[in-house]
Structure 1
């Protein structure tokens, strides 16, 4: 175990209490670890300082975003091998990695190895976080001001960048795969099929009024107006999304039927609507605000109106109070985002007055979608870096690849919940046969 790689491997295995499943290549060109495994490349001493001063997922994330570490080999394989040692372990016990480091450093032989490694890093000071890290946010959690800041951090990074990743559909939520008879579905086909599935679940018809909460770049309202003849209002907190969506609406000749607003759902006052879609937006609402969210949407619907809530969910914990937001996601991807178990979501919708009529689990569909997005990003890597920054492109590649694996391993899921504001008569307006949405 000569060189920095050998010493790093020894310290990592002592701290983690398990063999490293990947090879390490250090800045001095030394290598250590199982032959043929993906290689974790540690490019410089700054990476080591990040890991020593923040021995958790956040330290790794900062090193990755800054380009201090990289993977030589298949990224999915490397993340899959490391998941049990870092991400899954960290989610089960958020303080465990730091505690493990402290326990290991109490041992004389590990203190000696750590001192040796620290001496290799130069000045023993933590580097500044990468510029892509979300800055401290102003305002109370999930206040109007703070939510606007959080949404801007994620979505106002350039419409051209998102076009590279998402493709022509410009839909930033789970697609719906496997509907083509020959199975040869493209990403664009799968996204169109997802939008159409939602329209059918909502029972949309000519002349109805639709609200799309978190409308993104306008794909849902465009599909609903063009294919089902509805009048639609789409709301977003992203100025860049709204500008893009308005141009798409104008280009489609649908300005008389679609209105795009920069507006928070809490600021809506012009109901009622015949139907509401919320696709990949409720993850931003937060536990403290979810009852308010459900109640406001209930109040915006006509009696008999339907809500389609498409939302990522996490697995329930034995102690729900122990839930903590993932540090990498919070700092670099979705600031202040929170996931809830699907059971809690259903319960809160029903507590608001809704009758939940259907829950469709489409977890595997999101893994397929994310792998397509990663492939798009990798195929246009130089352009993506030019449009944003090397760090921003690395954030998206890591979070989408890691998320694909999380869906595949059933760490997180995604569900479409169909709920109705059932009138006092009890006539829901839904068909007797399950999932025969046309009636």
Structure 2
């Protein structure tokens, strides 16, 4: 039979209550849906079993990672068309089980759906199309469940290793020579490398770095910021990361540039740093790993490590606030495949926690559009080096990164996500902040592009 796609289209339109937004091609070669755009290809019928048992983004992501679901044509275009399926949470129970459950016994998220006879029949049709049970096991790239309490030192170390210890060569293909894994700072016509250089220099200028200062770089990654600060501003930098692969790479770069007397890279939890005070602290793309329950401790810890008058530059992704913050849930796909235990907070929450820790917040710069451009540049690099990336990791891991970065780019473009640089000062008690009257000029900076 070659009617799977038309049957799926009818099911989808019944469940959605609207025309199918994208063309689909089923495992039997049949097609349905509007022509002329990207095509969602269900290469194997087990993709439906994954979606039925994990409705919403996690089921779709598992099908994508396993290669059961692919896209022919413009990935961004397709993600835009099905963004509601990716960004809105599905029912709270497996849809296949819900299809045969009494409506009165169904979870609140599915009860209204199951009271509609047409939608209940559509779910049964979907279960029939999906084929024999049970559902397939998750793809191996999914993070194993972490032992220990959330955001304990041991569990954080495992989470960071899952994300960053994929292989430095893999990251080099995606990030480019700078090996900077955070939002770049773009100007018209800039290359990715130029934009990353400009971001590093912006951070240094906001921190007011001067020769001889001691700087702590929390979550130093592959060492780009530490190297730039030491090379261009003559400071001494201590960089800390939980990733052994990142630390090894960064130390090699430090040695090659002859900066071992000015840059120290440690495999160390930020909570274990005890050799302050520092004149300045940078935390770029790290605070997303801290967790809401521990954020105030994070802010207080950095405050204690700064000398009076010292500055903190906190560069962090933010989410839009929920009408009721108790409704916030960690993104299922991100938690399972990308950033285990990662949490995002609204900008206002971050600023409030820094102030409660004693900081005086002096400047906030929103860089949302800059991160969208950065992610699109990373996606282009990954697609350009696809075969090499797959060989260095696995097809599933490369597919995780492609989906994650492309969907995140749209999240920033659609204002579902933001990223902000918050500059805060440990003001002296009753004294001056030592900030310039016109801080946004940030000084000229001594550095020029490499």
Shift of 1:102: 5.7
- 1:170–1:219: 8 Å Cα contact kept in structure 2? yes
- 2:184–2:195: 8 Å Cα contact kept in structure 1? yes
- 2:11–2:125: 8 Å Cα contact kept in structure 1? no
CA distance in 2, matches of 1:11, 1:391: 28
Q: In structure 2, what is the equivalent of residue 12 of structure 1? A: 12
Q: In structure 1, what is the equivalent of residue 197 of structure 2? A: 192
**TM-aligned CA distance change 1:173 to 1:218, over 3 Å:** same
- 1:56–1:97: 8 Å Cα contact kept in structure 2? no
Structure 2 portions without partners, runs of 5+: 96-107, 445-450
CA distance in 1, matches of 2:387, 2:136: 26
TM-score by length of 1: 0.95
Shift of 1:11: 1.2
Bigger Cα displacement from structure 2, 109-118 vs 318-327: 109-118
Shift of 1:9: 1.2
Shift of 1:423: 0.6
**What root-mean-square deviation, in Å, do the aligned CA atoms of Structure 1 and Structure 2 show?**
1.8
Bigger Cα displacement from structure 2, 105-114 vs 406-415: 105-114
What are the Cα deviations for residues 82-125 of structure 1, in whole angstroms up to 9, with x where unaligned?
A: 11x213433xx875996666644554444444444433433221
1:436 aligns to 2:441 (yes or no): yes
Shift of 1:20: 1.7
**TM-aligned CA distance change 1:105 to 1:5, over 3 Å:** farther
**TM-aligned CA distance change 1:269 to 1:354, over 3 Å:** same
Q: In structure 2, what is the equivalent of residue 86 of structure 1? A: 85
Shift of 1:372: 0.1
1:143 aligns to 2:152 (yes or no): yes
- 1:133–1:331: 8 Å Cα contact kept in structure 2? yes
TM-score by length of 2: 0.93
Bigger Cα displacement from structure 2, 101-110 vs 13-22: 101-110
Q: In structure 1, what is the equivalent of residue 228 of structure 2? A: 223
What are the Cα deviations for residues 142-181 of structure 1, in whole angstroms up to 9, with x where unaligned?
A: 0001100110110000000000000000000000001xxx
CA distance in 2, matches of 1:259, 1:210: 10
- 1:21–1:37: 8 Å Cα contact kept in structure 2? no
What are the Cα deviations for residues 5-25 of structure 1, in whole angstroms up to 9, with x where unaligned?
A: 111111122222222210110
What are the Cα deviations for residues 305-332 of structure 1, in whole angstroms up to 9, with x where unaligned?
A: 0000000000111100110000000000
- 1:290–1:348: 8 Å Cα contact kept in structure 2? yes
State the aligned residue count.
Answer: 432
User: In structure 1, which of residues 146, 164, 180 is the aligned counterpart of residue 173 of structure 2?
Assistant: 164
CA distance in 2, matches of 1:342, 1:95: 29
Alignment of 1:165-184 (within 5 A): 165-178=174-187, 183-184=188-189
CA distance in 1, matches of 2:131, 2:82: 27
User: In structure 2, which of residues 388, 391, 398 is the aligned counterpart of residue 393 of structure 1?
Assistant: 398
CA distance in 2, matches of 1:127, 1:44: 12
Alignment of 1:54-69 (within 5 A): 54-69=54-69
- 1:14–1:104: 8 Å Cα contact kept in structure 2? no
SS at match of 1:136: coil
Q: In structure 2, what is the equivalent of residue 232 of structure 1? A: 237
- 1:15–1:100: 8 Å Cα contact kept in structure 2? no
CA distance in 1, matches of 2:353, 2:331: 23
CA distance in 2, matches of 1:106, 1:31: 30
Bigger Cα displacement from structure 2, 33-42 vs 221-230: 33-42
CA distance in 1, matches of 2:371, 2:204: 19
SS at match of 1:127: coil
What are the Cα deviations for residues 332-377 of structure 1, in whole angstroms up to 9, with x where unaligned?
A: 0001000001011001001000000000001000000000000000
Q: In structure 2, what is the equivalent of residue 41 of structure 1? A: 41
- 2:91–2:110: 8 Å Cα contact kept in structure 1? no
Q: In structure 1, what is the equivalent of residue 415 of structure 2? A: 410
- 2:244–2:267: 8 Å Cα contact kept in structure 1? yes
CA distance in 1, matches of 2:208, 2:349: 25
**TM-aligned CA distance change 1:24 to 1:119, over 3 Å:** same
Alignment of 1:255-404 (within 5 A): 255-404=260-409
- 2:52–2:94: 8 Å Cα contact kept in structure 1? no
Shift of 1:425: 4.0
